[in-house]
Amino acid sequence: MAKISPLMIAPPVIFGIFAITALVQLQSGSDETLPSALEGHPAPPVVLTEFPGKASFDDATLRDGEVKLVNYWASWCAPCRVEHPNLQALSDEGIPVYGINYKDQLRNAESFLSELGDPYAGIGRDEQGRLGLDWGVYGVPETYVIDGEGTIILRFPGPITQRVIESTIRPALEKAAAN
């Protein structure tokens, strides 16, 4: 009878422990997103490359007295595709949504908007991701709630779902409007 070495058993046991830990974390519903150092502070200055054929926005737009969303997105981002109808719905409600196309090819971004629609009141491109660094973007999609003075009220990493709209975005919009 062949003897089984403990070294052969260790990898599957360690993997099993990690898998069980991950499953417990996912099912606990804990929110362990990285915090934003910018919440409660003025939004960094907006310097974008023009998105041809689309309305643009700039730093003054963020401080125009109106509550708004700023959404970082890219055509190569699958979760951006998932959240897009929800951004359109918010825009249709009259909530200004400004888009920053992040590290994307213009042709691909244009196709994305052509296919899914354009919910953005203004849009620009962050081709190299420099503005994203200033804003603390970890990845796309990321959405920021900005009050009328240009202060970041909320940074939400990940796709905006109906649940997120009701539990996170709407309360942040109300807080921004009260500022």
Task: Give 23-74 pLDDT, tens digit per residue.
Answer: 555 554 444 455 567 899 999 999 999 999 999 999 999 999 999 999 999 9
Count CA atoms closer than 13 A to 149's CA, side-chain side.
10
Question: Of 11-15, 39-43, 99-103, where does mean pLDDT reach its minimum?
Answer: 11-15
The DSSP annotation for the chain comes to -PPPPHHHHHHHHHHHHHHHHHHHHHHHT---PPPPTTTTSBPPPP--EE-TTS----HHHHTSS--EEEEEE-TT-HHHHHHHHHHHHHHHTT--EEEEEES--HHHHHHHHHHH----SEEEEESSSHHHHHHT--SSSEEEEE-TTSBEEEEEES---HHHIIIIIHHHHHHHHH-
pLDDT category at 3 given cuts 50, 70, 90 is confident
Tell me how far apart the alpha carbons of residues 94 and 97 are, in angstroms, rounded to a whole number: 9
- Pairing verdict, β 142-146 and 68-73: antiparallel
The pLDDT of residue 179 is: 82
* Domain spans of the chain, in order of start: 49-178
Rounded to 10°, the helix 106-116/78-92 angle is: 50
The mean per-residue pLDDT over the stretch 98-125 comes to 98
Percent of the chain with pLDDT over 70: 81
Distance, in Å, from the CA atom of 111 to the CA atom of 100, rounded to the nearest integer, reads 15
CA dist list (Å): 112 to 26, 96, 99, 116, 117 = 31, 20, 13, 6, 8
- Is CATH 3.40.30.10 correct for 49-178? yes
Its pTM surpasses 0.85: no
Question: Is 82 buried (19+), middle (13-18) or exposed (0-12) by CB count in 10 A?
Answer: middle
pLDDT exceeds 80 at position 103: yes
What type of residue is 140? V
Give the pLDDT of residue 17. Answer: 66
